Amino acid sequence: MSVEIRAIELNTSPHFKAKVSTDQIMLNVVYATMPLCAFAVFTFGLSAFLLIVTAPLACILTEHFFCRMSGKESTVGDYSALITGILLALTLPPGLPLWMAAVGGFVSIALGKMLFGGLGHNPFNPALVGRAFLQAAFPVAITTWSPSFWPSVWSPDRFLHVLLPTLSLPFMKAETAAGYIHPLSIDAFSGATPLTMMKFEHASTPISNLFFGMSPGSTGETSAFLILLCGAYLVYRGMMDWRIPVGVVSSAFLLSAGFYALSPDKYPPPFFTLCSGGLMLGAVFMASDMVGSPSTPLGVWIYAILIGTITVSIRVLGGLPEGVMYAILLGNALTPLINQYTQPRVYGTYRELRSK
Protein backbone atom coordinates (compact mmCIF):
# COMPACT_ATOMS: atom_id res chain seq x y z
CA MET A 1 0.00 0.00 0.00
CA SER A 2 1.52 3.23 -1.12
CA VAL A 3 1.14 6.45 0.85
CA GLU A 4 1.18 9.73 -0.97
CA ILE A 5 3.47 12.20 0.75
CA ARG A 6 2.93 15.85 -0.02
CA ALA A 7 5.54 18.44 0.76
CA ILE A 8 4.41 21.24 3.04
CA GLU A 9 6.28 24.52 2.82
CA LEU A 10 6.26 26.55 6.03
CA ASN A 11 7.22 30.23 5.89
CA THR A 12 6.80 33.20 8.14
CA SER A 13 4.54 36.04 7.08
CA PRO A 14 4.05 38.04 4.94
CA HIS A 15 2.98 35.57 2.30
CA PHE A 16 2.30 38.02 -0.51
CA LYS A 17 4.72 38.16 -3.40
CA ALA A 18 4.98 41.28 -5.51
CA LYS A 19 4.33 40.90 -9.21
CA VAL A 20 6.98 43.42 -10.14
CA SER A 21 10.59 43.59 -9.08
CA THR A 22 12.47 46.57 -7.69
CA ASP A 23 14.37 46.83 -10.95
CA GLN A 24 11.13 47.12 -12.90
CA ILE A 25 9.80 49.80 -10.57
CA MET A 26 12.98 51.83 -10.82
CA LEU A 27 13.06 51.50 -14.58
CA ASN A 28 9.50 52.76 -14.84
CA VAL A 29 10.38 55.74 -12.66
CA VAL A 30 13.21 56.45 -15.10
CA TYR A 31 10.68 56.26 -17.95
CA ALA A 32 8.41 58.67 -16.06
CA THR A 33 11.17 61.26 -15.72
CA MET A 34 12.10 61.23 -19.40
CA PRO A 35 9.44 63.79 -20.45
CA LEU A 36 10.68 66.10 -17.69
CA CYS A 37 14.26 65.72 -18.90
CA ALA A 38 13.27 66.40 -22.49
CA PHE A 39 11.27 69.46 -21.53
CA ALA A 40 14.15 70.70 -19.37
CA VAL A 41 16.53 70.50 -22.33
CA PHE A 42 13.97 72.27 -24.52
CA THR A 43 13.54 74.96 -21.87
CA PHE A 44 17.14 75.55 -20.78
CA GLY A 45 19.19 74.10 -23.64
CA LEU A 46 22.58 72.43 -23.69
CA SER A 47 23.47 73.26 -20.08
CA ALA A 48 20.44 71.35 -18.81
CA PHE A 49 21.37 68.36 -20.98
CA LEU A 50 24.91 68.25 -19.60
CA LEU A 51 23.58 68.58 -16.05
CA ILE A 52 21.15 65.69 -16.56
CA VAL A 53 24.00 63.55 -17.88
CA THR A 54 26.58 64.52 -15.25
CA ALA A 55 24.61 63.94 -12.05
CA PRO A 56 23.41 60.40 -12.93
CA LEU A 57 26.88 59.47 -14.19
CA ALA A 58 28.39 60.60 -10.88
CA CYS A 59 25.80 58.59 -8.96
CA ILE A 60 26.39 55.43 -10.99
CA LEU A 61 30.18 55.63 -10.71
CA THR A 62 29.97 56.29 -6.97
CA GLU A 63 27.71 53.32 -6.33
CA HIS A 64 29.88 51.06 -8.50
CA PHE A 65 32.99 52.22 -6.64
CA PHE A 66 31.54 51.56 -3.18
CA CYS A 67 30.23 48.16 -4.21
CA ARG A 68 33.63 47.14 -5.50
CA MET A 69 35.39 48.53 -2.44
CA SER A 70 33.15 46.47 -0.17
CA GLY A 71 33.67 43.33 -2.21
CA LYS A 72 30.05 43.13 -3.35
CA GLU A 73 28.58 42.78 -6.77
CA SER A 74 27.79 46.12 -8.35
CA THR A 75 24.17 47.15 -7.87
CA VAL A 76 24.04 49.82 -10.56
CA GLY A 77 21.92 47.46 -12.64
CA ASP A 78 18.87 48.02 -10.43
CA TYR A 79 18.56 51.57 -11.84
CA SER A 80 18.25 53.13 -8.38
CA ALA A 81 21.50 55.09 -8.76
CA LEU A 82 20.35 56.28 -12.18
CA ILE A 83 17.03 57.55 -10.87
CA THR A 84 18.78 59.23 -7.93
CA GLY A 85 21.03 61.13 -10.33
CA ILE A 86 18.15 62.13 -12.58
CA LEU A 87 16.06 63.40 -9.69
CA LEU A 88 19.03 65.29 -8.29
CA ALA A 89 19.62 66.97 -11.63
CA LEU A 90 15.95 67.92 -11.92
CA THR A 91 16.13 69.75 -8.59
CA LEU A 92 19.21 71.80 -9.49
CA PRO A 93 19.48 75.14 -11.31
CA PRO A 94 20.14 74.46 -15.01
CA GLY A 95 23.27 76.62 -14.97
CA LEU A 96 24.92 74.94 -11.98
CA PRO A 97 28.60 74.14 -12.61
CA LEU A 98 28.91 70.52 -13.66
CA TRP A 99 31.57 69.73 -11.09
CA MET A 100 29.15 70.77 -8.35
CA ALA A 101 26.53 68.44 -9.82
CA ALA A 102 29.11 65.64 -9.74
CA VAL A 103 29.85 66.38 -6.08
CA GLY A 104 26.13 66.33 -5.35
CA GLY A 105 25.81 62.95 -7.08
CA PHE A 106 28.68 61.56 -5.03
CA VAL A 107 27.17 62.79 -1.77
CA SER A 108 23.71 61.47 -2.71
CA ILE A 109 25.00 57.94 -3.09
CA ALA A 110 27.81 57.93 -0.52
CA LEU A 111 26.03 59.66 2.37
CA GLY A 112 22.42 59.21 1.38
CA LYS A 113 22.49 55.58 0.38
CA MET A 114 25.65 53.47 0.77
CA LEU A 115 26.38 54.74 4.29
CA PHE A 116 23.14 53.13 5.45
CA GLY A 117 23.64 49.86 3.60
CA GLY A 118 22.35 50.54 0.12
CA LEU A 119 18.95 50.43 -1.52
CA GLY A 120 16.13 49.76 0.92
CA HIS A 121 18.05 50.90 3.98
CA ASN A 122 18.34 54.62 3.33
CA PRO A 123 16.11 56.64 5.70
CA PHE A 124 16.26 59.78 3.57
CA ASN A 125 15.70 60.37 -0.12
CA PRO A 126 19.27 60.19 -1.51
CA ALA A 127 18.70 62.84 -4.17
CA LEU A 128 17.52 65.31 -1.56
CA VAL A 129 20.51 64.50 0.65
CA GLY A 130 22.77 65.52 -2.22
CA ARG A 131 20.66 68.58 -2.91
CA ALA A 132 20.77 69.61 0.76
CA PHE A 133 24.56 69.25 0.76
CA LEU A 134 24.88 71.48 -2.30
CA GLN A 135 22.52 73.99 -0.69
CA ALA A 136 24.82 74.21 2.33
CA ALA A 137 28.15 74.04 0.49
CA PHE A 138 27.38 76.28 -2.49
CA PRO A 139 24.52 78.58 -1.45
CA VAL A 140 25.18 81.16 -4.17
CA ALA A 141 25.45 78.74 -7.07
CA ILE A 142 22.40 76.75 -5.94
CA THR A 143 20.27 79.90 -5.93
CA THR A 144 21.54 81.39 -9.19
CA TRP A 145 18.93 80.88 -11.87
CA SER A 146 19.08 81.13 -15.61
CA PRO A 147 16.29 82.39 -17.86
CA SER A 148 14.03 79.89 -19.56
CA PHE A 149 13.73 79.70 -23.38
CA TRP A 150 16.84 81.80 -23.71
CA PRO A 151 16.91 83.99 -25.80
CA SER A 152 13.53 83.02 -27.29
CA VAL A 153 11.26 79.99 -27.42
CA TRP A 154 12.22 78.79 -30.90
CA SER A 155 15.80 80.08 -31.03
CA PRO A 156 18.39 77.29 -31.46
CA ASP A 157 21.07 79.31 -29.67
CA ARG A 158 20.54 77.72 -26.28
CA PHE A 159 21.18 74.29 -27.85
CA LEU A 160 24.51 75.49 -29.25
CA HIS A 161 25.88 77.41 -26.26
CA VAL A 162 26.29 76.52 -22.62
CA LEU A 163 25.71 78.93 -19.79
CA LEU A 164 29.07 80.23 -18.61
CA PRO A 165 28.91 78.75 -15.07
CA THR A 166 28.27 75.27 -16.52
CA LEU A 167 31.93 74.65 -17.37
CA SER A 168 33.45 76.44 -14.40
CA LEU A 169 36.52 74.69 -13.02
CA PRO A 170 36.32 72.94 -9.64
CA PHE A 171 36.76 75.17 -6.62
CA MET A 172 37.19 78.21 -8.82
CA LYS A 173 34.83 81.15 -8.49
CA ALA A 174 31.85 80.54 -10.73
CA GLU A 175 30.71 83.07 -13.25
CA THR A 176 28.23 85.59 -11.95
CA ALA A 177 24.68 85.92 -13.15
CA ALA A 178 25.81 88.59 -15.57
CA GLY A 179 27.76 85.90 -17.39
CA TYR A 180 24.54 84.34 -18.59
CA ILE A 181 23.89 87.13 -21.01
CA HIS A 182 27.42 87.38 -22.37
CA PRO A 183 27.36 84.95 -25.33
CA LEU A 184 24.23 86.34 -26.96
CA SER A 185 24.61 90.03 -26.12
CA ILE A 186 21.33 90.28 -24.25
CA ASP A 187 21.01 93.56 -22.37
CA ALA A 188 19.53 92.16 -19.15
CA PHE A 189 17.32 89.46 -17.74
CA SER A 190 15.60 88.61 -14.49
CA GLY A 191 16.92 85.40 -12.99
CA ALA A 192 14.51 85.36 -10.08
CA THR A 193 12.14 82.44 -9.83
CA PRO A 194 8.40 83.03 -9.35
CA LEU A 195 8.75 82.00 -5.71
CA THR A 196 11.55 84.50 -5.12
CA MET A 197 9.63 87.31 -6.76
CA MET A 198 6.55 86.49 -4.70
CA LYS A 199 8.50 86.17 -1.46
CA PHE A 200 10.57 89.33 -1.66
CA GLU A 201 8.78 91.54 -4.17
CA HIS A 202 5.15 90.37 -3.86
CA ALA A 203 5.14 90.03 -7.63
CA SER A 204 2.94 87.25 -8.95
CA THR A 205 3.41 85.12 -12.05
CA PRO A 206 0.51 84.02 -14.26
CA ILE A 207 -0.71 80.59 -13.18
CA SER A 208 -0.79 79.40 -16.80
CA ASN A 209 2.96 80.11 -17.11
CA LEU A 210 3.65 78.10 -13.97
CA PHE A 211 1.35 75.26 -14.96
CA PHE A 212 2.79 74.78 -18.44
CA GLY A 213 6.43 75.58 -17.60
CA MET A 214 6.96 79.03 -19.09
CA SER A 215 8.96 80.34 -16.14
CA PRO A 216 12.50 79.99 -14.69
CA GLY A 217 13.26 77.55 -11.92
CA SER A 218 15.06 74.31 -11.23
CA THR A 219 15.75 72.11 -14.22
CA GLY A 220 12.75 69.80 -13.89
CA GLU A 221 10.27 71.66 -11.71
CA THR A 222 8.91 74.30 -14.07
CA SER A 223 5.95 72.46 -15.60
CA ALA A 224 3.35 71.29 -13.08
CA PHE A 225 1.25 69.91 -15.93
CA LEU A 226 4.02 67.62 -17.16
CA ILE A 227 4.89 66.46 -13.65
CA LEU A 228 1.26 65.49 -13.04
CA LEU A 229 1.19 63.53 -16.30
CA CYS A 230 4.36 61.65 -15.34
CA GLY A 231 2.95 60.93 -11.89
CA ALA A 232 -0.29 59.68 -13.44
CA TYR A 233 1.75 57.18 -15.45
CA LEU A 234 3.30 55.75 -12.27
CA VAL A 235 -0.07 55.57 -10.54
CA TYR A 236 -1.57 53.84 -13.58
CA ARG A 237 1.22 51.29 -13.51
CA GLY A 238 0.65 50.75 -9.78
CA MET A 239 4.17 51.90 -8.91
CA MET A 240 3.38 54.89 -6.74
CA ASP A 241 1.12 55.42 -3.74
CA TRP A 242 -1.30 58.06 -5.03
CA ARG A 243 -2.24 59.05 -1.49
CA ILE A 244 1.15 60.71 -0.88
CA PRO A 245 1.09 63.32 -3.69
CA VAL A 246 -2.64 63.85 -3.16
CA GLY A 247 -2.10 64.40 0.57
CA VAL A 248 0.84 66.75 0.02
CA VAL A 249 -0.93 68.82 -2.62
CA SER A 250 -4.29 68.91 -0.80
CA SER A 251 -2.81 70.00 2.52
CA ALA A 252 -0.64 72.62 0.83
CA PHE A 253 -3.67 73.92 -1.07
CA LEU A 254 -5.90 74.17 2.01
CA LEU A 255 -3.29 75.85 4.19
CA SER A 256 -2.26 78.34 1.52
CA ALA A 257 -5.96 79.04 0.86
CA GLY A 258 -6.35 79.86 4.54
CA PHE A 259 -3.43 82.29 4.47
CA TYR A 260 -4.72 83.84 1.26
CA ALA A 261 -8.17 84.31 2.78
CA LEU A 262 -6.63 86.14 5.74
CA SER A 263 -4.60 88.54 3.62
CA PRO A 264 -4.80 88.32 -0.19
CA ASP A 265 -2.34 91.18 -0.58
CA LYS A 266 0.32 89.51 1.52
CA TYR A 267 0.09 85.82 0.72
CA PRO A 268 0.02 84.04 -2.67
CA PRO A 269 -3.13 82.37 -3.98
CA PRO A 270 -3.33 78.60 -3.43
CA PHE A 271 -2.90 77.65 -7.08
CA PHE A 272 0.30 79.69 -7.18
CA THR A 273 1.57 77.67 -4.22
CA LEU A 274 0.83 74.40 -5.98
CA CYS A 275 2.35 75.25 -9.35
CA SER A 276 5.42 77.22 -8.26
CA GLY A 277 8.74 75.92 -7.00
CA GLY A 278 9.39 72.26 -6.40
CA LEU A 279 6.16 71.29 -4.65
CA MET A 280 4.79 69.20 -7.52
CA LEU A 281 8.13 67.54 -8.29
CA GLY A 282 8.70 66.80 -4.61
CA ALA A 283 5.18 65.49 -4.03
CA VAL A 284 5.26 63.14 -7.02
CA PHE A 285 8.85 61.91 -7.20
CA MET A 286 10.48 62.62 -3.81
CA ALA A 287 7.90 62.25 -1.08
CA SER A 288 6.61 59.03 -2.64
CA ASP A 289 9.96 57.27 -2.20
CA MET A 290 9.00 53.78 -1.03
CA VAL A 291 11.88 53.53 1.43
CA GLY A 292 11.48 56.88 3.14
CA SER A 293 7.68 56.97 3.35
CA PRO A 294 5.43 55.20 5.89
CA SER A 295 3.91 51.82 5.15
CA THR A 296 0.70 52.07 7.18
CA PRO A 297 -2.50 53.52 5.63
CA LEU A 298 -2.97 56.17 8.32
CA GLY A 299 0.75 56.90 8.43
CA VAL A 300 0.81 57.70 4.73
CA TRP A 301 -1.80 60.44 5.18
CA ILE A 302 -0.07 61.88 8.25
CA TYR A 303 3.25 61.89 6.42
CA ALA A 304 1.81 63.58 3.32
CA ILE A 305 -0.14 66.21 5.25
CA LEU A 306 2.95 66.94 7.33
CA ILE A 307 5.04 67.59 4.22
CA GLY A 308 2.44 69.85 2.63
CA THR A 309 1.93 71.80 5.84
CA ILE A 310 5.64 72.31 6.52
CA THR A 311 6.31 73.36 2.93
CA VAL A 312 3.70 76.11 3.02
CA SER A 313 4.75 77.17 6.53
CA ILE A 314 8.37 77.64 5.46
CA ARG A 315 7.35 79.52 2.33
CA VAL A 316 4.94 81.84 4.12
CA LEU A 317 6.41 82.21 7.60
CA GLY A 318 10.10 81.35 7.09
CA GLY A 319 12.95 83.28 5.61
CA LEU A 320 13.35 81.09 2.52
CA PRO A 321 11.12 81.20 -0.55
CA GLU A 322 11.12 77.38 -0.85
CA GLY A 323 10.75 74.65 1.76
CA VAL A 324 9.73 71.40 0.09
CA MET A 325 13.21 69.85 0.40
CA TYR A 326 13.34 70.38 4.16
CA ALA A 327 9.74 69.24 4.54
CA ILE A 328 10.39 65.92 2.78
CA LEU A 329 13.62 65.25 4.66
CA LEU A 330 11.82 65.94 7.95
CA GLY A 331 9.01 63.63 6.85
CA ASN A 332 11.59 60.93 6.05
CA ALA A 333 13.09 61.36 9.53
CA LEU A 334 9.68 60.95 11.19
CA THR A 335 8.64 57.94 9.12
CA PRO A 336 9.80 55.30 11.66
CA LEU A 337 7.91 57.11 14.43
CA ILE A 338 4.80 57.45 12.26
CA ASN A 339 4.95 53.76 11.41
CA GLN A 340 5.27 52.86 15.08
CA TYR A 341 2.17 54.78 16.21
CA THR A 342 -0.09 54.01 13.27
CA GLN A 343 0.12 50.24 13.15
CA PRO A 344 -3.27 48.73 12.27
CA ARG A 345 -4.97 46.90 15.14
CA VAL A 346 -4.43 43.19 15.00
CA TYR A 347 -7.70 41.33 14.59
CA GLY A 348 -9.07 40.40 18.03
CA THR A 349 -6.54 42.41 20.00
CA TYR A 350 -8.97 45.07 21.28
CA ARG A 351 -11.50 42.54 22.59
CA GLU A 352 -8.74 40.59 24.25
CA LEU A 353 -7.46 43.66 26.06
CA ARG A 354 -10.92 44.55 27.32
CA SER A 355 -11.39 41.07 28.73
CA LYS A 356 -8.30 41.57 30.85
Contact call for residues 244 and 285 (beta carbons, < 8 A): no
* Confidence (pLDDT) at 11: 60
Q: Would you state the pLDDT for residue 163?
A: 83
Three-state DSSP class for residue 149:
coil
Quick: pLDDT tens for 264-304: 989 999 999 999 999 999 999 999 998 899 999 999 999 99
What pTM value is reported for the model? 0.88
d(CA 240, CA 314): 26
pLDDT score of 16: 60
Residue 305 has what pLDDT?
97
The DSSP output letter for 284 is I
Task: Give burial (CB, 10 Å; 0-12/13-18/19+) of 215.
Answer: buried
Looking at the chain, how many residues does it have?
Answer: 356
pLDDT tens, 217-271? 899 999 999 999 999 999 999 889 999 999 999 999 999 999 999 999 899 999 9
Q: Under DSSP, is residue 81 helix (H, G, I), strand (E, B) or coil?
A: helix
pLDDT number for residue 194:
86
Name 335's Cβ contacts closer than 8 Å, sequence gap at least 6. 123, 292, 293, 294, 299, 303
Q: Compute and round to an integer the Cα radius of gyration of the chain.
A: 22
- For residues 110 and 61, the answer to whether their CB atoms sit within 8 Å is no
Which residue numbers in the chain have pLDDT < 50? none
Q: What is the pLDDT of residue 155?
A: 81
